[in-house]
Amino acid sequence: MHGYNLAEAQWATVGENDTWMMVPRAVVYLKPTVKTNGKNEEGAWTIIDE
C-alpha cells in the first residue's frame, strides 16, 4: 500500500492521445464541534451539527 494513491490511476494502452482513467476519491474534513447520538440502523455514526 505504501506509495499508492487511492485515486487508482489506470490507463489505457498507450497511444497518440494518452488517456488516464482516474477513479477519484474525496476527503472531507468535519467540524471539530460535530457530535453524534450513536449509530444508525446501517451502522454508521450519525452527525449532529448544531
Partner 1 sequence: MKSRKGITLIALVITIIVLLILTGITINLTIGEHGILTMAKESGKNYQNAAEYEQGAIGNFFNEAQNMIPGENGNSNSEGEGPEDPVGPWRLADKVNIGDYVAYDPTDGVTDPSKLSYTSPKGTGSSHGNGYQEKTITPTSYAKWRVLSKDTTTGEVVLMSNGAVTSNYFQIQGTIGYLYLEQELHSLCAIYGYGKGADTTKTFTYQTGGPRDILKTGTITGSGARSVTIEDINRALGYTPNPTEETWDSRYACFPTTATETGISEQTADVTLTTSKNYSYKHTDVISSDHPLHDLIFQGGMYYIASRTSYIENNRYYLGTFIQSSNYGGIIARI
Cα dist. 27→10, 43, 48 in Å?
A: 20, 20, 19
Task: Return left, alpha or beta for 11; rule: phi > 0 is left, psi -120 to 50 is alpha, else beta.
Answer: beta
Count the Cβ atoms, other than its own, within 10 Å of residue 48.
10
To the nearest whole angstrom, how small is the minimum distance from the Cβ of residue 11 to partner 1? 7
Residues 8-27 contacting partner 1, CB under 8 A: 8-11, 13-27
Least Å distance between CB 41 and partner 1?
10
Question: Which residues, 27 to 46, sit near partner 1 by CB under 8 A?
Answer: 27-38, 40, 42-46
Site for partner 1, rule CB under 8 A: 1-11, 13-38, 40, 42-49
